[in-house]
Structures are given as C-alpha cells and as structure tokens.
Amino acid sequence: FGGFGKYCVPGKVLFFTSISGGTKTIGFESAIADLKQRGVNSIVYSPEWVDGADSIEMAAREAQRYSGLAYEDTLSLLFWQQSHEGERPVSHADIASTTARSQFASKFPGQEFYITDKGLSVQALCSVVDNLCKAETAKGARPSVFFVDFAQLLWLENDNRQRLWIETAIGLIKDCCSRNGLVGFISSQMKKADAELAKGGVVLDSGMMQWLSEQQANFVFAFAPKLDEKGQRESYVNADGDTIYGLRGRVLKNSMAALDS
C-alpha cells in the first residue's frame, strides 16, 4: 500500500471500509493469520464471531486458509450426522487433513488473543486491551496489532448522544494503541446508499464511510466486489480448484508514505 507498512509506527490507526458482506472480516482474518505466521501477536475484537456457529465458521475459515476442510463441508457433515440421509458424509481423509492443517497453523510463532466479551463500551474495551497487553508482555508475547471489527459496534459510556461521539471513540482507541505500542486496524461499513453505488462500479471515496472521517486515520483503504459486464462478481479458478472472487480496492489516504499517484 504505497510503502505504508514499511513506515507505519505504533499508535497509528488504519481504516478498512467496504460494503456489508464485502469480506472485511475475512480480510482481517487473513491479515491476522499472515502476521501470526511471521511471529506477530494480535489482539482481536470481533464480537459478532466469538460464539456459537459463528465461531465454528471462523475456525473453519482458519483451517481452510491452509487447504483444510471448508465450512460448507463441515455443515454437510453435521447435517448428514443428524439425518443419516441426503448429504453424503465428509470423508475421513478430509477430516484428517483439516486436523493436520489446524495443527500446522497452531505451530506458527505468533498468537492471536480474541476478546470474547460482547457489547463492550470503548472505555471497557480499552481497559481489557491494557490488561491483556500487560499480562501477555510479562509472558514474553507482547501484542503488536489491534483489530476492531467493526466501527459500527462501538459505543461510549455516558455519551449523551454527542454529535461527535465517534471521534471521541476513535480517539480513545488511538490513545490505547499509543499507550501499548499497537498499530490499530478498524473496519467500517459504507453508508447503505453509497454501498449500492459502489456495487455498481462507482469510484470509492472517503465520504462513503459510515460515521467516520478520514481525519481520524493515518491510512484508509476501501474495497468492493469486482463485477463483470452482467453485474455478477468476477471470479476465476486457481490451480488448486478454488474459486477466487475479485475485489477492487483504492487507497483513500496515506499519511506516512509517498505515493507515486
């Protein structure tokens, strides 16, 4: 992204914005996994994905990232076990492969620390991060990155419906990142009307972010599905037989590194 990653320093906050269902969460999970593989420890606040079926889906995506069993195959297995008819059972080889892939991922030098409390205020969230950083640093696993998925789930204690509450919320998170030597990533949805425009190929701009101002971030990256002439998502099949869907992205702000264009 124009050299930003090379020059980014702790205490900075980066926004990733997309339409609803635009793979923000999967994008974050891919980044967390890549950092983990490089020995970087991350703190993750993703309250929509920490319990029940959602957590199973998240775990399945982790295994699938290393060619393990897909979430859809896991569902097929569960349905077959319940009904003993209809869907074919998933083979033992596939299940064994997933176990091996999960064990492979568990050996990465980095760790991810998921905050499993749901519905935390920003003040409570920052307090949890402070305590987590202190505890894990004492164990020799200092976190370096803080992921928040997503901005629209943030809320302030006693905000009295302040008109600029989101600026205060992001300010508290930036202070928390600076205090603990973290780089912050916050995902955000686009405003609904603008999201529909983005689906149709309209060029993305920072004004499409719901509630957020680009002044609060050091880096802003927006992305949306790439569509063909029929309005369908562009895709191709790679050498492993996986279907890859296209995205189009745009850097909307980069305050740390020079861009050629």
The single-letter code of the amino acid at 35 is L
Choice among 23-27, 37-41, 42-46, 227-231 with the minimum mean pLDDT: 227-231
Q: Is the pLDDT of residue 225 over 50?
A: yes
Quote the CA–CA distance of 113 and 46 in Å, as a whole number.
Answer: 11
Q: How far is CA 57 from CA 48, 104, 176, 217, in A?
A: 11, 18, 30, 30
Q: Which residues contact 128 (CB under 8 A, 6 or more apart)?
A: 115, 117, 120
> Which amino acid is it at 108?
F
- Name 17's bridge partners: 188, 222
For residue 98, name the pLDDT band (cuts at 50, 70, 90).
low
- Cα separation, 203 vs 88, in Å, equals 44
First to last CA, the chain: 12
Partner residues linked to 233 by β-bridges? 227
Specify the pLDDT at position 250.
85
Q: Are 53 and 83 in contact (CB under 8 A)?
A: no
Binned at pLDDT 50, 70 and 90, residue 43 comes out as very high
Which residue intervals of 19-83 are DSSP H helices?
24-37, 52-64, 71-83
At 260, list the tokens.
């050629």
The reported pLDDT for the residue numbered 82 is 61
CA-nearest of 150, 157, 162, 92 to 122 is 157
**What are the beta bridge partners of residue 14?**
185, 219
- CA 136, CA 111: separation in Å to the nearest integer? 10
Compute the average pLDDT of residues 91-120: 76
- Give the amino acid at 26: I
**Is residue 152 within 8 Å of residue 211, measured between CB atoms?**
yes
For residue range 126-176, list pLDDT tens digits in order.
999 999 999 999 999 999 999 999 888 888 988 766 667 888 899 999 999
In which order are the strands placed within the sheet that holds 112-114?
112-114, 42-45, 145-149, 183-189, 13-18, 219-225, 247-254
- CA–CA gap between residue 13 and residue 174 (Å, rounded): 6
pLDDT band at 101 (very low <50, low <70, confident <90, very high): low
Strand pairing class (247-254; 219-225): antiparallel
